[in-house]
Amino acid sequence: MSSGLSGRLFLLGVFALVLAGCEQREKSTTSNTGEKPKQSDSAPARAAAVTFLALEVPVKPQVTPEFVARGKQLYDQNCAVCHGAKGDGKGDAAAFLLPKPRDFVTANYRLRSTLNTQLPTDEDLFRSISLGMPGTPMPPWRHILNDSDRWALVEFVKTFSPKFKEPEKPEVVDLGKPPGNSKEAIAEGKTLFTAMGCVACHGEGGRGDGPNAAALVNDMEQKIVPRDFAKPGQFKSGYARKEIVRAMLTGFNGTPMLGYANILSNDQPWKVAQFIETLVQPERSIVDQPSKNFNVREDLGDADVKIKVIERAWQYDPNIIRVKKGQIIEVTFEPTDNGLGVGHGFAVSGYDEVAFLNGAMVGVPKKTKFRADRAGEFTFYCSTQCSTDKLHPMMNGTLIVEDSGEKKTASLK
């Protein structure tokens, strides 16, 4: 994975956390599990969004043909760009995304409360649509669509797969009984983690680097990396002990992460989860950090020109920037929407190696600073790969670097 791409995905996770963080303020700030994370405060605190099982699921409205038709309409507007009009995961944006959007026809759902290989419950689908999948391009829709709309989407998404036509009821896994926090429980969890073979993929230190990790692929033959337990922001159902237990027991269908529901019982999965929690490491704060230039050759010092650029309706404003050769330029960029959930970027063709930022979001502006050492006209564009004909054809502008020696020539526009 290129560093630019992983940066984008990481930012999406943060986007989800930021949004969830806002919502949380209205409610309460208690932890979902009722148990306080014992590790260093910062990392788990930042990941403390509403998690999969903690989301309150409202009663499903009556399913009528009109209700499903409403689901289709919402799907075409909001989901087809990634998941495809036929639900096969092949939308226009899919080529730019990692991991790839779910294929609703094969219906291998990752986030479930049900046994390995089984379908999710309707509530499970409502949860994943509402909360999205942190660390991936799948957005949390509860901030944009109301409960009824999200239920309509659940019903419509199911129509893509013949699997949902057979009424066999999925079996919800029993999460067993949590033991109290203790050193002994953690030690037992560590022993189980090795004995159960988790280390083969997740690695002894849980960094996702076990001996089998490099060879793993998912149901789309895409390389897949076992979760790095040091990074709570990458847990796809949110970070809480209960979610770790659930993920361990249900597995992620369509990935090499199988469910251990028939192998681990009672308090065993909870002990493993307690051990996994000890592996968390504090994350750096990344909000409003300047993007790193690919090559930092010199400390540019204070900028001569500071320019604020925004994105509105998928166009840059301003879309013409005029500077003088030799000036140090600082561009601060903030979009007014989050694009496909990964934000927008700013790069200058011809200055690619020095003027570049990515993953700017609403409320999370980004900066790039560079020396305009070449005169001429240069195109700037969205480095989050959205300045394409299919996505945002208007997302570009012109940087004019005037050569001060020729300031008074008639040809100057």
Q: Which is nearer to ligand HEC, 102 or 369 (CB)?
A: 102
Interface region with ligand HEC, contact rule CB under 6 A, candidates 35-43, 54-62, 251-259, 382-390? 251-259
Which of 14, 119, 198, 321 is in the footprint of ligand HEC by CB under 6 A? 198
Q: Supply the minimum distance, in Å, between the C-beta of residue 60 and ligand HEC.
A: 15
Alpha-carbon span 395 to 408, nearest angstrom:
31
Q: Is 396 exposed, middle or buried (0-12, 13-18, 19+ CB in 10 A)?
A: middle
Does 11 sit near ligand HEC (CB under 6 A)?
Answer: no
Which of 113, 114, 130, 237 is in the footprint of ligand HEC by CB under 6 A? 237
Which of 121, 118, 79 lies closest to 101 in space, CA to CA? 79
Q: Which is nearer to ligand HEC, 19 or 93 (CB)?
A: 93
Does 338 sit near ligand HEC (CB under 6 A)?
Answer: no
Q: Which residue has the tokens 């997740």?
A: 202
Does 314 sit near ligand HEC (CB under 6 A)?
Answer: no
Helix, strand, coil abundance in the chain, percent, nearest 5: 30, 15, 55
Which of 17, 48, 93, 361 is in the footprint of ligand HEC by CB under 6 A? 93
Q: Which two tokens stand for residue 62?
A: 């009556």
C-alpha radius of gyration, the chain, whole number: 24
Q: Supply the minimum distance, in Å, between the C-beta of residue 52 and ligand HEC.
A: 8
Does 371 sit near ligand HEC (CB under 6 A)?
Answer: no
Sequence-distant (≥ 6) Cβ neighbours of residue 333 within 8 angstroms:
308, 309, 310, 311, 344, 345, 346, 357, 360, 365, 366, 367, 368
Strands 320-324 and 396-402: parallel
Q: Which amino acid is at 58?
A: P
Q: Which residue has the tokens 């369509």?
A: 254
Using an 8 Å Cβ cutoff, are 288 and 11 in contact?
no
Does 157 sit near ligand HEC (CB under 6 A)?
Answer: yes
Q: Which two tokens stand for residue 338?
A: 């989050």
Which of 172, 175, 216, 400 is in the footprint of ligand HEC by CB under 6 A? 216
Question: Sign of the C-alpha dihedral, residues 57, 59, 60, 61?
Answer: negative
Which of 270, 209, 287 lies closest to 11 in space, CA to CA? 287
Does 260 sit near ligand HEC (CB under 6 A)?
Answer: yes
Which of 34, 61, 197, 318 is in the footprint of ligand HEC by CB under 6 A? 197
Alpha-carbon span 91 to 78, nearest angstrom:
11
Alpha-carbon span 138 to 12, nearest angstrom:
8
Q: Supply the minimum distance, in Å, between the C-beta of residue 160 and ligand HEC.
A: 10
Which of 31, 106, 116, 255 is in the footprint of ligand HEC by CB under 6 A? 255
Interface region with ligand HEC, contact rule CB under 6 A, candidates 33-41, 222-230, 311-319, 377-385? 222-230
Which of 81, 172, 175, 300 is in the footprint of ligand HEC by CB under 6 A? 81
Q: Which is nearer to ligand HEC, 79 or 186 (CB)?
A: 79
Question: Sign of the C-alpha dihedral, residues 332, 233, 251, 153?
Answer: negative
Q: Using CB under 6 A, count the residues that bind ligand HEC.
A: 50
Q: Which two tokens stand for residue 95?
A: 């080529």
Does 370 sit near ligand HEC (CB under 6 A)?
Answer: no
Q: Which residue has the tokens 């507007």?
A: 77
Does 243 sit near ligand HEC (CB under 6 A)?
Answer: yes
Does 277 sit near ligand HEC (CB under 6 A)?
Answer: no
Does 9 sit near ligand HEC (CB under 6 A)?
Answer: no
Alpha-carbon span 153 to 170, nearest angstrom:
20
Q: Which of residues 100-139 bind ligand HEC (CB under 6 A)?
A: 101-102, 109-111, 125, 128-129, 133, 136-139
Q: Which residues bind ligand HEC (CB under 6 A)?
A: 78-79, 81-83, 93, 97, 99, 101-102, 109-111, 125, 128-129, 133, 136-139, 141, 153, 157, 196-198, 200-202, 212, 216, 224, 226-227, 235-237, 243-244, 247-248, 252, 255-257, 260, 272, 340-341
